[in-house]
Amino acid sequence: MKGSITKYFGQAMTGQGWKDLYKDIIKEAKEVYFLKGIFGFNASNLLKEIGYHYVNKGYDIEFFYDPLFENTVQATFVKGIDTFFLQSSKPSIEPTQLGTRDKVISFYECLDESILIQHGERLKQLSEEAEKWHDQCFASLQMAIQIHDEWEEATQQHMDWNALNEQRKELFDQIFNGMLLNKTGVLTHRLFGTLTPDGAKDFLQNITRNLEKRYFIKGLPGTGKSTMLKQLAQDALKRGFDVQKIWCGLDSKSIDMVILPELKLCIFDSTAPHEYFPEDGRAGDTIVDIAKHCQLSLETEAKLQNITKEYRKAILIATNYAKLYAEAEKEIREILDQATDFSKWKKQSALLF
């Protein structure tokens, strides 16, 4: 019987810059292979090959995707044997337990210097372009976060926080039903969505496919969704439950989802850009409406229309710069693939199987 594949993003393009959780994920592993080198797309193909190798052996795996390129993988985690394979040069992640958990596989010698020299001027030009578009993309995302903060401030003034607290208590009672587990809960971290050159993307349906209960939180920005999720995670850990925090792909300080594996349950921020609704045939799908506790004035509604317009404009600009950034990066990686000596690549790759 083949194993399953769960998909996450390896990085997120946030208003505070690139965010990744690889250092946290490494702590879950018993063995970590750090792939070091200057990579094109060959590293992704290798990591997918490793993943399918273990899936065919019956292991469940996790793929961690690159936000810039669809179907491009940065890392593979093999569950059951808890082995993590990571392209660790970009982003740069260094081993901390050499000689025990961590192993380094170097691919630096796999590049043909003569081919790089042939493309040297073009690589220089592309690198400068990529840096320019990268900086403008993240400047636009920073602006989007600032606008989003204004959005939150506007709605918070109209929240009935006492009513929300009562709703939260009722919800937590419903979820836990007084249960306490005689063990220490384990906290893990993942990313399920991010901005990409094609707009906002997420893997929510893949991640939640086997869960029996899904709670869809509905509410405006600033109405306490992320705070509620953090409180739920804290309460669950105190009760001995394992918790997986799924972090926000725009604001690196917020979380968008909590998964409680032992209860086969998740609860998540189900508003744009990851807006979902209960599905027919999934009896465990439930909406948690906290929007009802926010009664906006006409003046605030008018203000929010302008804020929403400016926010969408900033995200659109960031998306356009992300496209330009990805185009330059794509050509760089294609040249690096052309410069790869595949006999040397094959020899190093064999060390991973």
> For the segment 166-197, what is each residue's pLDDT rounded down to a tens digit?
999 999 999 999 999 999 999 999 999 999 99
Q: Which amino acid is at 110?
A: C
How is residue 93 written in tokens?
């992640």
What is the DSSP code string of 55-111?
HTTT--EEEEE-TTSTT-EEEEEETTTTEEEEE-BTTB---S-BTTTEEEEE-GGGB
> For the segment 191-250, what is each residue's pLDDT rounded down to a tens digit?
999 999 999 999 999 999 999 999 999 999 999 999 999 999 999 999 999 999 999 999
Q: How many CB atoms lie within 10 A of CB 213?
A: 18
pTM for the full predicted model: 0.96
Per-residue pLDDT tens, the chain, 353 aa: give them. 899 999 999 999 999 999 999 999 999 999 999 999 999 999 999 999 999 999 999 999 999 999 999 999 999 999 999 999 999 998 999 999 999 999 999 999 999 999 999 999 999 999 999 999 999 999 999 999 999 999 999 999 999 999 999 999 999 999 999 999 999 999 999 999 999 999 999 999 999 999 999 999 999 999 999 999 999 999 999 999 999 999 999 999 999 999 999 999 999 999 999 999 999 999 999 999 999 999 999 999 999 999 999 999 999 999 999 999 999 999 999 999 999 999 999 999 999 99
Q: Which amino acid is at 46?
A: L
